[in-house]
Every structure is written in C-alpha cells, then in structure tokens.
Amino acid sequence: MEVYSKISVNSSEGKGMFAILIDPDKIHHNSFRTVAHKAAEADVDFLFIGGSLLSADIMEECLYEVRCETDIPLVIFPGSVFQINKAADAILLLSLISGRNPEMLIGNHVVAAPYLKASQLEIIPTGYMLIESGVSTTALYMSCTFPIPHSKDEIAVNTAMAGEMLGLKLIYLDAGSGATSPVSASMITKVKQAIGIPLIVGGGIDTPEKARRAREAGANLVVVGNAIEKDSGLIHEIAYAIHEI
C-alpha cells in the first residue's frame, strides 16, 4: 500500500501510527541497521529520514543500510533539496505554513520540482507547522521563521485549516527536534477537531507517556527522533504505547 493511503486508512480507522525519525547526521552510521532492525521488530509504521542540517553526504548510505534491514516504508523528511533521494519510497513535500519565508512555502519546491517529478517518489504535500518549544531549534534557525507561540491554539487551528483548504494532504505539528516542551495536548486536540486530514505530531516526545498523550490528544501519527538516538531501547515501549490505543 502506498504511504499516504496507509496513513489515511489507519487514521480513518482510528489506528495510531508511529514513525521514527532517523537524522543521518545524528545517528552513527554503524547504528542505522540496529535502529532499522529494532523498528521492524516493534512494528514501527514508517521511518522518516532527514534532518534540518546535514554535515555530510550520507542520505544515500543511510537509505541503503536501513533498506537492507527492513521493508518499513522509508519517507524522506527533507531539511533541504539536497536530501531528495530516489532510494526512498515517499517524500513529505513540506510547505512551512507556520512561517512567512517564501523559500519554505514555494521557492525550494520550484527548484525541486523536476527532480521530484523524475524520482518516482510518492509525493505527499504536507502543511508543516513549527510550534514554539522553549528552545531555539535547528529547524527554526535554518528556516528563518518564527514558530507559532506554544499557547496560541487558535493560530495553529486557523493555519491548519488554511493548509487543508489549500489542498495539503497532511498537517505536521512539530515542536522541533530536541524541544523541551512538546506540542500541547490542547493544541493537538483543537487542530485535529478542525481538520479532516491526518495529523502528525513530533518534537520533544521522549517517553512512552508523552507519545501516549499526543496520541490520545488526537495525533494520528507520532514521530520520535532524539530520544531514540539516545536510547534505541525505547522503540518497543513507544511503539507499544502508540499502538495499544
């Protein structure tokens, strides 16, 4: 099944999904297979691959190593056009709708369009929203945007509704990698109630309890990166927390 169909079907059936974010810059290349192996054992739904800033040309190797270990769908979560790679199954075509930087709304997409068209990747138009999280994350700095304030649920709701009306297929609420405060339960619930498309939530989710809270608040798909980079043993516990609901 294609990635978006799987997300869409599971969301309408009320099944929670779990994606691990593998930032190839943060996980040692010797560990790509270990993480992929544990993800396969824990029935992780997707592996997101990418990062706000990569300091080496390592996407290809990462995708290859992970693919050797598992057939979990590989979805590029691109920090830049340089991270587009045909070896994945799909790509989140992120439009950073919480910000007002034209390059992140359309400029990079224009540059990437012919490469994406030729890539055969499944392209999933995604409304990407950065939410203030207590720390200045790499995503914020690199995107030159302001996040939506943590407590301003109504701005998040209106932004997500606008994203859906523009035809985007997913909304991704992200507190940013390594956030000290994840997106609040109230913001997740209100955004979920306002849209009919699947909702992804990530950033600062570092325990099974926080993953469960995001899921119970309304996230269809929960993304965890940092915590798993530190302790891949968490994969099973977080997968269980998300899938049991």
Query: Cα(241)–Cα(218) distance, rounded to whole angstroms?
Result: 14
Of 78, 127, 147, 202, the one binding ligand 1GP by CB under 6 A: 202
Q: Determine the straight-line distance between the first and last CA of the chain, rounded to whole angstroms.
A: 23
Q: Could you tell me the smallest distance in angstroms from the CB atom of residue 118 to ligand 1GP? A: 27
Total residues at interface with ligand 1GP (CB under 6 A): 15
Of 35, 39, 94, 205, the one binding ligand 1GP by CB under 6 A: 205
Q: Could you tell me the smallest distance in angstroms from the CB atom of residue 120 to ligand 1GP? A: 25
Residue 178 within binding range of ligand 1GP, rule CB under 6 A: yes
* Closer residue to ligand 1GP, CB minimum distance, 178 or 198: 178
Residue 45 within binding range of ligand 1GP, rule CB under 6 A: no
Query: Cα(3)–Cα(103) distance, rounded to whole angstroms?
Result: 26
Q: Could you tell me the smallest distance in angstroms from the CB atom of residue 178 to ligand 1GP? A: 5
* Closer residue to ligand 1GP, CB minimum distance, 112 or 221: 221
Residue 24 within binding range of ligand 1GP, rule CB under 6 A: no
* Closer residue to ligand 1GP, CB minimum distance, 16 or 204: 204
